[in-house]
Chains A and B, each alone.
Chain A
Amino acid sequence: MASQQAEHDRVGGFRRVVDGPAAEWFGLAVRLGLAVVWGWAGLAKVSDPAEAAQAVRAYEILPESLVKPVGWGLPFLELALAVLLVIGLGTRVVALISATLLLVFIAGISSAWARGISIDCGCFGGGGTVDESQTKYLQEILRDTGFLLLSAWLIFRPRTKLSADAWLAA
């Protein structure tokens, strides 16, 4: 009985940490962190459309007809996610889309790695074929996994401080 009570307290304490104001401030930091990631990734891919298309083409996954639409549209998708995260609108939906996108990226990089082609992921601009010694697949996957964890936090705890969501809910 006593141990059950302790267990209950521990769970209650955990809940308070995860749902309390401290967690909402942490959520704000996560939200803005992910916004910076998407903003940086998007901006880096906007300046040269041919480069963005080539980064996609280098994966040798999509047919040529989809290379340009994806290469051109993706940075704007990333920028839209960044803006929505900054204002904190629809945080859970945005986090879900972020996580899906990151899973797609991780799958693409893994596929390139598994097929033995040598490319830069083009995650933050650049991209295309690189020398075999210049590939950084593991770092790229680990980095994206880190971003995936940020997204996961926001999926499970979408309530954050200073968000449009909180303002709308009030």
Chain B
Amino acid sequence: MSDKNREGKRSARERMLEERAGQEARAKRNKKVVVGGAVIAVIAAAVVVGVVVQNQRSKPETPTAAPAGTIGDKNLIIPVGADNAPSTLTVYEDPRCPACGSFERTFSPTVDQLEDAGKIFVNYHIVSFIDRSLGGNGSKYGANALGCAQNAGHFRDYHDVLYRNQPGETEDTFGNKQTLIDLGKQVPGLDNPEFQSCVNTNTFGGWVSAVQQDFDKSSFKSTPTVLLNGQPIYPKKGDEQISPENLVKWVDEANQGKQLGTPGSHGQSPAPSSTAAETNTSPSP
């Protein structure tokens, strides 16, 4: 075998190896492109499917069923008191929010008085966002139970009972439907199968979600948010701290020279479904 021949053989082998290496590199690159494309496709598909699924799962912003007597363009508001009262008090509350509990325990007798005197028309927005940060269902189930009470014409009384029995914020006591039903027994007219089934089946769950979504889109960020004729008064109105006396004073100032409203049946609409309520709960002294 001549040297020349040997050399030619080697270069042929080298060429072959080079070619093979090139082919392998190309195959590797192709594989990478295919894997990368597959990964991107999987992710894109997941996102698209996710948006479609969540769109279907999410509850509508306009509820399909709202408690009787609710007002506003989407029936998200629970009204208490005379709708022709000269001033409107708007209250955003979460059943689980401790500051709302303390507001209610301090102010509900005063608010009841102002309602019964035809001085204010109260608009409640029962929101339910505490469940999001603390977990549980107490805000949502509590709000649904309040909707059930409204549906039966006993919102005001049940609302007071609920806040008087409010657990600590981190305890999800209202997440237990039986607790909500048991508290209803303190309100004459709510100790009945309709209320129980309404609480148990979460009848107004869609409405509760719609009220919360409306709050989400509002500029208000915390509860309680309390507005007198659209102006925030909690915890302060301007420089003045809210107190039962100041609330009465502010309402009277706003109402000066205006005709008072005519509160209907215990300030509730619809009228209580049981006469027991009217005999039992005389207007606050």
Q: Which A residues have a C-beta under 8 Å from some C-beta of B?
A: 46, 48-54, 57, 64, 68-69, 71-73, 75-77, 79-81, 83-84, 89-90, 93-94, 97, 120, 125-131, 165, 168-169
Contact = CB atoms under 8 A, between A and B. Distances in A.
Given A50-B59, A50-B213, A76-B51, 6 more contacts: A77-B50, A81-B43, A89-B38, A94-B39, A131-B222, A168-B31
A64 to B, nearest CB: 8
B43 A49 contact: no
B220 to A, nearest CB: 9
B132 A51 contact: yes
24 contacts: A46-B54, A50-B58, A53-B216, A54-B129, A57-B216, A71-B54, A72-B51, A73-B47, A73-B48, A73-B50, A73-B51, A76-B47, A76-B49, A77-B43, A77-B47, A80-B47, A81-B43, A84-B39, A94-B39, A97-B43, A129-B222, A168-B31, A168-B35, A169-B28
A90 B54 contact: no
Interface residues of B, number: 31
A126 B133 contact: yes
A90 B35 contact: yes
B36 interface: yes
Interface in B1-57: 28, 31, 35-36, 38-40, 42-43, 46-51, 53-55, 57
A89 B50 contact: no
Contacts of A50: 58-59, 209, 212-213, 216
A89 B39 contact: yes
Contacts of A131: 222
A64 B213 CA distance: 13
A130 B132 CA distance: 11
Nearest to B46: A80
A94 to B, nearest CB: 6
Nearest to B61: A50
Contacts of A81: 43
A69 B212 CA distance: 19
Contacts of A128: 129, 132-133, 216
A29 B4 CA distance: 56
Contacts of B43: 77, 80-81, 84, 97
B57 A49 contact: yes
Nearest to A72: B54
B109 to A, nearest CB: 28
Nearest to A84: B39
A93 B40 contact: yes
Nearest to B209: A50
Contact of B50 (A72, A126, A129, A130): A72
B35 A165 contact: yes
A90 B36 contact: yes
Contacts of B212: 50
Nearest to A127: B132
**What 3 pairs between A and B have smallest CB-CB spacing?**
A76-B50, A90-B39, A72-B54
A52 B38 contact: no
B135 to A, nearest CB: 8
A71 B47 CA distance: 11
Contacts of A125: 132
Contact of B42 (A84, A126, A130): A84
A72 B39 contact: no
Contacts of B55: 49, 68, 72
Nearest to A97: B43
A21 B131 CA distance: 47
